[in-house]
Amino acid sequence: MAEAGPILVVVGGETKRLQWLTHHVTSHWPNAQVTTLRAGESAPLSRLISERSPDAVILQADFANESLASAVLSVMGQLLRMQPALHCILLADNGNEMSAVRALKGGAKDYLPLAQITRDHLLTAVGEACAKRRIAAQAAAMMANSENSTLIEVPGYSIVKEIATSNFSSVFLARSERLRRNVVLKVMTRGESDREIGDAERFQREYEIISSITHRAIAEIHDFGSQPGHLYLAMEYFPCGDLRDRLRNPLSVEESLYYLRAIAEALRVIHVFGILHRDLKPANVMLREDNSPVLIDFGLARRSLDEIGNTGVGQVLGSPYYISPEQAQGQRVDARTDLYSLGVMFYEMLTGQRPYGGRSAVAIMSQHTNSPVPILPESTAMQQPLLDRLMAKQPSARYTSADELLADLGPIAAVA
């Protein structure tokens, strides 16, 4: 059997150079898969990276044009946030030592000056990328066999890795045989205890809620089913990550307002369907390739007509960092609860930190209930009236709906 050739994605601005590169790679590795894209096609590029997991991405950058070079380095950074182990090779036009330093600091594994590149240089760089990827794949396979042998098997899905786990469920990145692309596979073990029965009910409710809404701001459900001992839910995979990751870098006021409005629009969608999220936080807001947010994790969601929206005494659920005062006290909740959580997130976007902290969940929830609305720093003080209404302790003092908040915000342009 012929040895599998490399899988490459090549991005450049000059057709002849792309053809030259493709010719040398495919003549050396007849089974190579080379996909070429013109510079600026960032959405198809992100999709290719998430679906194909290439051995290497080759990016051409002309350092004589600072704006174009910065754009290429920015794209490379976005790809590495999606897949930190991605092998990026930079082909540099008009570069120098400083260009090489910028590229390598930005995450490039190799830097090849186009003025000096030869066929051998190119093939050596691609060959090293393939070798490193195969070594990493072998190591991952060995680790999976030794440490993850207990991963749940779901027919039709190949588990790639575990993303997260909790007392409620485990979440995996998986490959769907039917869809031929990556999905998020959420699996919950079925049991007979009262807690496990309650967990199963929330899991079923999450499926029913998400599948009842078809909207770009809500994650798409691909599959739902049961196997002996567990339930599973397959949903849309977002390679660009979540808002929690985005908040690791400071946001400008304009970016903060963009996310505030975009998430408010997503809340308006679910509220129109009579659904309260009740667990809104940055980790439950995924980002599409165009930077638009998508709500996920409706395990705690309720239809507002169910049980009159009561949380229930002794049933305080949700993250203590983002919980509303009424939800923290087990009182009746409505759409204003989600808007309070959005206000907490808005404060975090503007300042880089959460408004309240403490040594225990009880201490944090007590601050949500009793502490005043935090004061923004002088640089963002113009947003204080907006924050005051979002995070008002009494629901009656808050925005009554996402529509009212959106009317106050007005149109806001998207940010890249």
CB 380: neighbour CB atoms within 10 A? 16
Would you call 415 helix, strand, or coil by DSSP? coil
Helices 253-272 & 335-351, crossing angle to 10 degrees?
170
- How far is it, in rounded angstroms, from Cα 401 to Cα 24? 60
Question: Which residue among 93, 242, 279, 297 is the active-site one?
Answer: 279
Closest Cα to residue 91, out of 70, 67, 72, 65?
72
Query: Six-digit token pair at 357?
Result: 């902290």
Closest Cα to residue 291, out of 43, 44, 48?
43
For residues 110 and 89, the answer to whether their CB atoms sit within 8 Å is: yes
For residues 326 and 319, the answer to whether their CB atoms sit within 8 Å is: no
Q: Report the chain's C-alpha Rg in angstroms.
A: 24
Closest Cα to residue 88, out of 64, 66, 60?
60
- How far is it, in rounded angstroms, from Cα 251 to Cα 379? 13
For residues 45 and 240, the answer to whether their CB atoms sit within 8 Å is: no
Q: Active-site residue 279, yes or no?
A: yes
* Sign of the alpha-carbon torsion through 232, 237, 240, 246: negative
CA quadruple 162, 167, 169, 175: dihedral, nearest 10? 0
For residues 291 and 214, the answer to whether their CB atoms sit within 8 Å is: no
- How far is it, in rounded angstroms, from Cα 378 to Cα 366? 27
- How far is it, in rounded angstroms, from Cα 57 to Cα 73? 13
Active site residues: 279
